[in-house]
Copies of this chain bind each other. A is one copy, B any other.
Amino acid sequence: MLMMRGLEARALSLYKQGKVPGSFYDGYGQEAVSAGAAFAMAAEDRLCILHRDLAAHIVRGVEPARILAQYMGRASGITGGRDGNVHFGDRNRGCVGMVSMLPDMMCVANGLALAFKLRGQKAAALTFCGDGASSRGDFHEALNWAGVQRLGVIFVLENNQYAYSTPTSAQFAVDPVKRAETYGVRGVSVDGNDAEAMFAAVHEARTRAANGEGPTLVEAQTMRMHGHAAHDDMRYVPKELVEHWAARDPIKLQSKRLKELGVDLDALQRDVDAEIDAASQEALASPMPDPDTALDGVFCEGEATELADGLAPWSGWAHA
């Protein structure tokens, strides 16, 4: 979480220096959702990670330098500059890069889970969906299919109160987590700012998924604490709402716990900062992609290589 917050802060400052092209999205204040969820997944699991979920990439083992290079459109970024900042997934870490169209990846995640099922593998797929994206048909088709075929898939509904400027009250009349059971999907709602609660909920869902007990929709209740993207000052969000959630910052919450366990947080922060500094230097030293390669790779020419397993070095399943 610290790494996510630090990396995004760094990326934002690079953005302000004009070093990150396009626009810039972050998950400030929501770090616990993706960190907690990804921690609960094993190396052999598969993930489709969205735009507020950078921590999941980090947990999978994607190197910070490659993430910053990705933001800056450098050759050493995960997509080599082909796709924009958060639109990536490291296929060598079991991740499928998201598309902009939300929440298309829910259907893809079903396919990942279906592959496990058809091969008799005990593993699971995880993806995310925003409160806004829950209004789209793909949400429904994916949940219905997962329910009827009892796929080992976990959908994290990241309810951060807003979809761009649209509050949930204009998005749905009833919280979509309520829909889960009407698809034959287990539905649970957790505090998305509590990393351990997220971990526990997804860990349980993952156990069930891998054991053939079907899909789960985990609602993570949280708040988008920054604007939709860097250009958005989110003046449409009531101040009290921001204050309410600011007091519930996920990193503060987790820091308190760790302190009680005797963890040296200052040292941790120093380590993270040092890693980010190094990553930043490495990324800045990476060249821009060669324009002569712009047309390469529209088609796969050789053998199709499938997704590889993640590193998931801190996974709750690492020793399972």
Contact = CB atoms under 8 A, between A and B. Distances in A.
Interface of A: 135-141, 144-145, 147-148, 150, 169-174, 176, 178-179, 181-185
Nearest to A141: B137
**Copies of this chain assembled into the complex:** 2
A147 B135 CA distance: 11
Contacts of A144: 135, 172-173
A24 to B, nearest CB: 29
A173 to B, nearest CB: 3
22 contacts: A135-B144, A136-B137, A136-B140, A136-B141, A137-B137, A137-B138, A137-B139, A137-B141, A140-B140, A140-B141, A144-B172, A147-B172, A147-B173, A147-B174, A148-B171, A148-B173, A150-B173, A172-B183, A173-B183, A173-B184, A174-B183, A179-B182
Nearest to A173: B184
Nearest to A179: B182
A144 B140 CA distance: 11
Contact of A139 (B136, B140, B169): B140
* Prevailing SS type, chain A contact patch: helix
Contacts of A169: 148
Nearest to A145: B135
Contact of A148 (B172, B179, B181): B172
Q: List 5 A-B pairs, minimum CB-CB distance, nearest first.
A: A137-B137, A173-B184, A140-B140, A147-B173, A179-B182
Contacts of A184: 172-174
A133 to B, nearest CB: 12
A292 B168 CA distance: 53
Contact of A174 (B135, B178, B182): B182
Contacts of A145: 135
A183 B179 CA distance: 8
A144 B179 CA distance: 11
Contacts of A138: 137
A188 to B, nearest CB: 15
Which of A174, A176, A181 has the most chain B CB within a 10 Å cutoff?
A174
